[in-house]
Amino acid sequence: MIDPLSAIAMLVPLILSLSVHEFAHAQVAYWLGDGTADEMGRRTLNPIAHIDPFGTILFPLLGYHYQFLFGWARPVPVNPTRFKRSINTNRGMMLVAAAGPASNLILAFLATGALKLLLVTNPTVSMEKAIMLVWVIRMNLALCLFNLLPVYPLDGSRVIRGLLPRKATGWLDLMERNPLILLAAFGAVLYFAGSILVGPLLALEDVLFRLFQIV
């Protein structure tokens, strides 16, 4: 049985974080000359514009019930043919893709700052009472790291395309063209994501806590 208050406490920051993630994609695309998302009302922080009923609400609730949290928002449309002439397509798509994970890293940084402020202004508060902020930090670090995995259609696949020469990313083309390979690869990522990301996530969290001198 899902506790309603706990579910809301989990869903609200998740929805807001996913909305910031998609807004970041749309904003960078807009800066590069592509107004597609803006014209569709997606260059906004309003969560309603980004919510996917299944991926943003139902799936996270099911995952929360089974202690496996995962979710996504509606992808922001990007048309690289509308980028400014001075912008290389692959490099532009890399910047747009990287903006999403970068926004989650910034949110984790801000949440860590808020946690430090809470602990300074109220020294008697326990970490258990500040668990919401800790949850926001970990959730955004997880979103950042997960989306940077180099598997189509995650942001990491676009980042890799922008960093490596075309001949070195043929495996991404194969994955994109073959639904079976795509499904197998993405299924493997979901299955092993926890074990792959837990080390880097805890390491990043430790860096943030040390930066803000949180014991």
> pLDDT tens, 48-60?
999 998 888 887 8
128 tagged catalytic:
no
Within 8 A by CB and 6+ apart from 32, the residues are 83, 84, 87, 92, 95, 96
DSSP secondary-structure letter at 168? G
Mean pLDDT of 64-90: 86
Within 8 A by CB and 6+ apart from 187, the residues are none
Strands (E), 24-167: none
The model's confidence at residue 66, banded by pLDDT at 50, 70 and 90, is: low
Nearest to residue 97, comparing CAs of 75, 82, 81?
75
Q: Is the pLDDT of residue 7 over 80?
A: no
Catalytic one of 22, 39, 128, 205: 22
How many angstroms separate the Cα of 84 from the Cα of each of 13, 22, 64, 202? 34, 21, 43, 39
Q: Output the CA torsion sign for 190, 22, 155, 37.
A: positive
**Residue whose entry in the numeric block shows the structure tokens 């258990």:** 128
Residue 53: alpha-carbon gap to chain centroid: 17
Q: Is the pLDDT of residue 68 over 70?
A: no
Give the tens place of pLDDT for each residue, 181-205.
777 877 777 777 778 888 999 999 9
Residue 109 tokens read as: 């940084």
Residue 149, classified by CB atoms within 10 Å of its CB into exposed (0-12), middle (13-18) or buried (19+), is buried
Mean pLDDT of 116-126: 85
Coil, strand or helix: which one is 78?
coil
pTM for the whole thing?
0.90
